[in-house]
Amino acid sequence: GFVPTMGYLHEGHLSLVRLARKRVGRRGVVVVSVYVNPTQFAPQEDLARYPRDLARDLQLCETAGVDVVFAPGDREMYPGWQSGRGSWVEEQQLSQRMEGAARPTHFRGVATVVAKLFHLVQPDVAIFGAKDYQQAAVVRRMVEDLRFPLRVVVGPTRREPDGLAMSSRNAYLSAEERPQ
Ligand code: PAF
């Protein structure tokens, strides 16, 4: 059971870990990846300041009963990228609208890294959050189109007591922005 993340884990991620465990059972293996994927950020976006705390993530994963944390670096995920080398996975239809219209290279980055992670981890089941609804739809479509031998499960959005959907990027919000 595989839960791909960009780290800075919160209860939303941990609920996906519990879902993975439920799917694979006590004797199955639950893997969490922690990787801030540079190719899903446009140049003007928040890659550099995206929150990171691997030591805390590892602790949370251990407490949650995760078996393996895969935390690769850029050179492992994108060999030769610095020298202009690279291959892409691009879903052609669902990726074009909504968030994809505002962030034209975002879903290509997501599909590419998720395909790589699927090859490396080889899960039977991969869990995504409903918060990123379009992402889950794009991944499902990619799995179908490329015939990945795995099942995609989408877990419900977890919310803070004030109703805000849990997200690592909530750390950016000021006290005034949060209710807005
Ligand atoms: O939802 C995320 O955290 C990321 O988009 C994902 C699926 C881990 C790919 O980098």
Average pLDDT score, the chain: 97
Q: Which residue, judged by its Cα, is nearest atom 6 of ligand 1? A: 5
106 near 99, Cβ under 8 Å? yes
- Tens of pLDDT along 55-95? 999 999 999 999 999 999 999 999 988 888 999 999 999 99
Residue 168 has pLDDT above 90, yes or no: yes
Q: What spacing in Å lies between the alpha carbon of 109 and ligand 1's midpoint? A: 9
In angstroms, rounded to a whole number, what is the distance separating the alpha carbons of residues 92 and 40? 16
Q: With 0-12 CB in 10 A as exposed, 13-18 as middle and 19+ as buried, what is 5?
A: buried
pTM here? 0.97
Q: How far is the CA of 174 from the centre of ligand 1 (A)?
A: 24
**Residue 30, Cα to own-chain centre: how many angstroms?**
15
Q: Which residue has its alpha carbon closest to ligand 1 atom 9?
A: 110
Find, among 68, 65, 34, 64, the residue nearest to 52 by Cα.
34
**Sole residue written with tokens 């998720």:** 114
Query: Which is the closest atom of ligand 1 to the Cα of 132?
Result: 1
Angstrom distance (rounded) from CA 70 to CA 33: 5
> What is the pLDDT at residue 82?
82
pLDDT digits (tens, 9 = 90+) for 99-142: 999 999 999 999 999 999 999 999 999 999 999 999 999 999 99
What's the burial of 174, exposed, middle or buried (CB within 10 Å: 0-12/13-18/19+)?
exposed
Percent of the chain with pLDDT over 70: 100
Pocket of ligand 1 from Cβ distances under 6 Å: 4-6, 37, 40, 110, 113-114, 132, 135
Amino acid residing at 94: L
Q: For residue 84, what pLDDT is reported?
A: 87
Q: Is the dihedral of CA 56, 154, 90, 98 positive or negative?
A: negative
The residue whose CA is least distant from atom 5 of ligand 1 is 110
